[in-house]
């Protein structure tokens, strides 16, 4: 089936995106929660070599791989929708349990590991998009343009406010850095719970963008973008062109210091390069000599949730005071080496794990939990119907 031909490339993209998100998060871990290190707001002139090196990495990953991961979540939702149609199951039906479980996973991940968790925002987005696609293509298209336009106008409003001197300040992050450098793990958990609304503000802010990107993933899937057909290659060529000739120039704005383009690049320009990555990687996978590498990325993609959580746990241990305590004491070269090492480690671990098991550990827990919940619900419903009759 055509769907079977698409899946390896989809898994590869998902794996690439998961490892790429660590390329942004690694700086937050390395500088103990200080967000100023993934922005240009603290710079009025040019950077030192170490700062410039960090910005080069962020040029390729900051917002771009998160955007790609968001698109791939939309692709996954469409696959679930297609599965429900083939089995003549109600929609969203059982998928609602997946959304609930995703939200709970995000809450645990936020509380125990990292304050900038993305899973909770994805759960809220998936709930909205699941009902949107149920309404049909026309409603979905209207929502696609409506939420996309709203997000663009919101970012432009923030940009204009920044021009007028009303910008986002990261003052006060020193106390957070002190906590992550010297505080216990339990103190950090308490801090995240105490400041829940503050840290979840971005997760709420990006929901319109997430809806747009989820729906984009649905549309790309329905247009066979990930298939190894002439049509798939033609569309990926267009995405490649958009990424190279529009995405890259716009994202170069990140090298202008002062913080003016921080928001527009991360939340507006980065997703353009995200779709460009689909085209770029689509070309790279045609080089069969590197099939072993694409297969390793695909294996990470098959257990993307497990790898996403694992990489953040490992980074926490490496940089925070309750672990090795390297945060604030390493330069950009070492941070990049740690990122690449963690990525390589996950490529190897995913390969070994999937030689013995069909699912990653987190994916297995999710599958078993959802199956148990749905079976219990179906049993109760059946008993209720029997009593009524």
* pLDDT average, residue stretch 115-129: 96
Note the pLDDT of residue 191: 95
Note the pLDDT of residue 47: 73
* pLDDT average, residue stretch 240-249: 95
Asked if 76 and 130 count as a contact pair (C-beta separation under 8 A), the reply is: no
Q: How far apart are CA 39 and CA 261, in angstroms?
A: 9
**Which residue did the predictor score with more confidence, 371 or 330?**
330
Structural domain including 338 reads 2-384
Note the pLDDT of residue 62: 95
Please give the span between the terminal C-alpha atoms of the chain, in angstroms, as a whole number.
Answer: 43
- pLDDT > 70: percent of the chain: 92
Answer yes or no: is pLDDT of 372 > 80.
Answer: yes
Answer yes or no: is pLDDT of 294 > 90.
Answer: yes
Q: What is the mean pLDDT of the chain?
A: 90
Residue 333's pLDDT band, with cuts at 50, 70 and 90, is very high
Answer yes or no: is pLDDT of 24 > 60.
Answer: yes
| Rounded (10°) CA dihedral 50, 52, 57, 58 | 120
Q: How far apart are CA 146 and CA 196, in angstroms?
A: 29
Residue 45's pLDDT band, with cuts at 50, 70 and 90, is low
In a domain, 57, yes or no: yes
Answer yes or no: is pLDDT of 381 > 60.
Answer: no
Answer yes or no: is pLDDT of 43 > 90.
Answer: no
Note the pLDDT of residue 352: 97
Note the pLDDT of residue 362: 93
Answer yes or no: is pLDDT of 248 > 80.
Answer: yes
In a domain, 389, yes or no: no
* pLDDT average, residue stretch 213-234: 93
Answer yes or no: is pLDDT of 125 > 90.
Answer: yes
Note the pLDDT of residue 167: 60
Give the lowest-confidence range in 100-109, 181-190, 259-268, 317-326.
Answer: 259-268
Q: How far apart are CA 281 and CA 239, in angstroms?
A: 10
Answer yes or no: is pLDDT of 384 > 90.
Answer: no
Answer yes or no: is pLDDT of 386 > 60.
Answer: no
In a domain, 76, yes or no: yes
Asked if 106 and 117 count as a contact pair (C-beta separation under 8 A), the reply is: yes
Supply 47's token pair: 């950077």
Tell me the pTM.
0.92
What does the pLDDT look like over 172-216, one tens digit per residue?
Answer: 677 889 999 999 999 999 999 999 999 999 999 999 999 999 999
* pLDDT average, residue stretch 159-164: 86
Q: How far apart are CA 207 and CA 224, in angstroms?
A: 26
Note the pLDDT of residue 171: 60
Note the pLDDT of residue 4: 40
Q: At what angle do helices 207-222 and 119-134 cross, to 10 degrees?
A: 50
Answer yes or no: is pLDDT of 385 > 50.
Answer: no
Residue 23's pLDDT band, with cuts at 50, 70 and 90, is very high
In a domain, 289, yes or no: yes
HEC secondary structure over the chain: CHHHHHHHHHHHHHHHHHHHHHHHHHHHHHCCCCHHHHCCCCCCCCCCHHHHHHHHHHHHHCCHHHHHHHHHHHHHHHHHHHHHHHCCCCCCCCHHHHHHHHHHHHHHHHHHCCCCCCHHHHHHHHHHHHHHHHCCHHHHHHHHHHHHHHHHHHHHHHHHHHHCCCCCCCCCHHHHHHHHHHCCHHHHHHHHHHCHHHHCHHHHHCHHHHHHHHHHHHHHHHCCCCCCCHHHHHHHHHHHHHHHHHHHHHHHHHHCCCCCCHHHHHHHHHHHHHHHHHHHHHHHCCCHHHHHHHHHHHHHHHCHHHHHHHHHHHHHHHHCCCCCCCCCCCCHHHHHHHHHHHHHHHHHHHHHHHHHCCCCHHHHHHHHHHHHHHHHHHHHHHHHHHHHC
In a domain, 230, yes or no: yes
Residue 32 backbone zone (phi > 0: left; psi -120 to 50: alpha; other: beta) = left
Asked if 241 and 284 count as a contact pair (C-beta separation under 8 A), the reply is: no
Counting the structural domains of the chain, the total is 1
Q: How far apart are CA 113 and CA 192, in angstroms?
A: 9
Report for 34-38, 203-207, 284-288: range of highest mean pLDDT: 203-207
Q: How far apart are CA 191 and CA 186, in angstroms?
A: 9
In a domain, 244, yes or no: yes
In a domain, 43, yes or no: yes
Give the lowest-confidence range in 160-169, 216-225, 250-259, 316-325.
Answer: 160-169
Note the pLDDT of residue 27: 96
**Which residue did the predictor score with more confidence, 109 or 40?**
109
């Amino acid at each position: 089936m055509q769907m079977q031909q698409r899946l390896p490339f989809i898994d590869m993209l998902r794996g690439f995106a998961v490892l790429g998100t660590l390329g942004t998060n690694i700086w937050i871990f390395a500088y103990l929660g200080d967000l100023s290190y993934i922005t240009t707001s603290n710079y009025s002139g040019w950077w030192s070599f170490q700062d410039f090196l960090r910005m080069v990495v962020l040029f390729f990953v900051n917002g771009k791989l998160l955007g790609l991961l968001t698109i791939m979540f939309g692709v996954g939702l469409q696959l679930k929708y297609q599965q429900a149609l083939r089995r003549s199951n109600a929609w969203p039906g059982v998928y609602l349990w997946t959304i609930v479980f995703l939200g709970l996973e995000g809450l645990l991940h936020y509380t125990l590991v990292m304050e900038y968790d993305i899973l909770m925002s994805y759960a809220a987005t998936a709930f909205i998009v699941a009902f949107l696609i149920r309404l049909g293509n026309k409603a979905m298209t209207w929502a696609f343009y409506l939420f996309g336009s709203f997000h663009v106008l919101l970012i432009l409003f923030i940009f204009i406010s920044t021009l007028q001197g009303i910008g986002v300040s990261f003052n006060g992050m020193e106390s957070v850095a002190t906590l992550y450098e010297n505080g216990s793990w339990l103190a950090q958990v308490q801090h995240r719970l105490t400041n829940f609304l503050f840290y979840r503000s971005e997760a709420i802010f990006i929901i319109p963008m997430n809806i747009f990107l989820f729906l984009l993933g649905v549309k790309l899937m329905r247009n066979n973008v990930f298939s190894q057909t002439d049509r798939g290659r033609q569309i990926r060529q267009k995405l490649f062109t958009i990424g190279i000739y529009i995405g890259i120039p716009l994202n170069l704005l990140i090298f202008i210091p002062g913080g003016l383009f921080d928001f527009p690049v991360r939340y507006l320009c980065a997703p353009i390069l995200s779709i460009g990555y689909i085209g770029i990687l689509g070309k790279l996978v045609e080089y069969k000599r590197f099939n072993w590498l694409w297969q390793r990325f695909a294996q990470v993609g098959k257990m993307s949730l497990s790898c996403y959580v694992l990489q953040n746990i490992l980074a926490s241990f490496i940089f925070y005071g309750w672990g090795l305590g390297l945060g604030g004491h390493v330069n950009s070269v070492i941070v990049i080496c740690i990122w690449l090492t963690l990525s390589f480690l996950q490529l190897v671990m995913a390969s070994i794990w999937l030689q013995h098991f069909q699912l990653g550990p987190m994916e297995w827990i999710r599958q078993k939990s959802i199956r148990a919940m749905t079976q219990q619900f179906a049993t109760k419903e059946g008993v209720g119907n029997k009593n009524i009759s």
